[in-house]
């Protein structure tokens, strides 16, 4: 049998592929001797430190994650019980989408009616349609994106660590948003060419309404977070490693949504700029 044990930290992986990903990650693992020196342990996440001062600094940020740890254990229990989808569960390959909540309705500053050849998915449609992300798109994201592969191979304490997780979570959200907007008809939002602090969103009425970028961006990120949670809990086609990565990403975002919205402000604006219709898709 092929060796599946990391010779540096001693961690045993389920498959040789996961060991390979573990060895190729950017942040090196700790040696067994280094682990034995970490005598100061965090009561919330179990992370060890060699000095009490380092533990005290860690506790400032980790204290709020104690409730998240309890929630993840509850979610793991639910995952274990899910052997088949129920009537209201998305089947593999079908779209998971989110309603635009009444709590996130944004005040319209300008309304413009445009005629387009493409039947865009309405942002405020009767069916969940703010953004659509399929099971296959999530599978491909973790298969094709090396950053997400590395994220899924992290140890539990690293997924919990608020210093390690943010870059991975930003990458996950942005990757899924881009995949959700791949189809021409799914591009129901783009940056206002005349104002970099505004976006245009396609409404059920057929008009393109102009809204503030900050408010609509937050709505979009919250929608993606709900899709991530739904897929993690209900989609049997995803691996347990992918599901755990999705669950933790959702919990981290939910704990500090303003922080993550700020971190994704520039990459999201750049993406929405690329979404501006051009050529045959231009607004008339």
Q: What is the pLDDT along the chain (284 residues), one digit of tens a residue?
A: 567 788 777 777 777 777 777 787 766 776 655 445 556 676 656 667 666 666 666 665 565 555 555 666 666 565 555 544 444 434 334 444 443 433 333 333 343 434 446 788 888 866 555 899 999 999 999 999 999 999 999 888 888 888 889 999 999 999 999 999 999 889 999 999 989 899 999 988 889 999 999 999 999 999 999 999 988 887 788 988 899 899 999 999 999 999 999 999 999 999 999 998 775 344 43
**Calpha distance 167→127 (Å, rounded):** 32
Residue pointed to by tokens 């907007």: 181
User: What tokens were used for 84?
Assistant: 């088949």
User: What tokens were used for 37?
Assistant: 């020196």
Phi/psi at 145 (5° precision): -95, 110
User: What tokens were used for 25?
Assistant: 């990650």
Question: Interior CA angle at 215 toward 71 and 254, to 5°?
Answer: 10
Dihedral angle sign, alpha carbons of residues 81, 169, 152, 274 = positive
Element (H, E) at 161: none
Whether residue 175 contacts residue 248, with contact meaning beta carbons closer than 8 Å, is answered with no
- Mark 13-22 as b/e (b = at least 16 C-beta within 10 Å): beeeebbebb
Element (H, E) at 8: none
């Amino acid at each position: 049998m092929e060796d599946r044990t990391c010779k540096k930290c001693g961690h045993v992986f389920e498959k040789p592929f996961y060991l390979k990903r573990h060895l190729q990650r950017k942040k090196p693992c700790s040696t067994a001797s280094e682990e034995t020196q970490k005598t100061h342990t965090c009561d919330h996440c179990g992370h060890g430190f060699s000095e009490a001062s380092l533990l005290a600094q860690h506790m400032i940020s980790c204290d709020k994650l104690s409730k998240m740890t309890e929630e993840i254990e509850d979610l793991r229990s639910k995952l274990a019980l899910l052997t088949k989808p129920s009537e209201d569960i998305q089947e593999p390959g079908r779209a998971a989408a989110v309603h635009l909540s009444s709590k996130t309705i944004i005040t319209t500053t300008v309304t413009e009616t445009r005629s387009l050849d493409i039947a865009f998915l309405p942002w405020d449609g009767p069916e969940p349609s703010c953004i659509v992300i399929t099971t296959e798109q999530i599978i491909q994201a973790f298969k094709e994106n090396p950053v997400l592969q590395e994220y899924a191979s992290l140890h539990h304490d690293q997924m919990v660590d608020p210093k390690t997780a943010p870059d991975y979570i930003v990458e996950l959200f942005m990757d899924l948003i881009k995949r959700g907007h791949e189809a021409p008809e799914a591009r129901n939002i783009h940056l206002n060419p005349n104002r970099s602090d505004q976006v245009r969103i396609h409404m059920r009425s057929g008009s393109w309404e102009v809204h503030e970028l900050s408010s609509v961006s937050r709505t979009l990120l919250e929608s993606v977070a709900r899709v991530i949670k739904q897929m993690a809990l209900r989609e049997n086609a995803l691996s347990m490693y992918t599901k755990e990565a999705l669950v933790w990403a959702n919990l981290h975002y939910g704990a500090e949504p303003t922080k993550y919205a700020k971190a994704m402000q520039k990459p999201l604006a750049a993406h929405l700029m690329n979404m501006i219709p051009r050529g045959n898709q231009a607004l008339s």
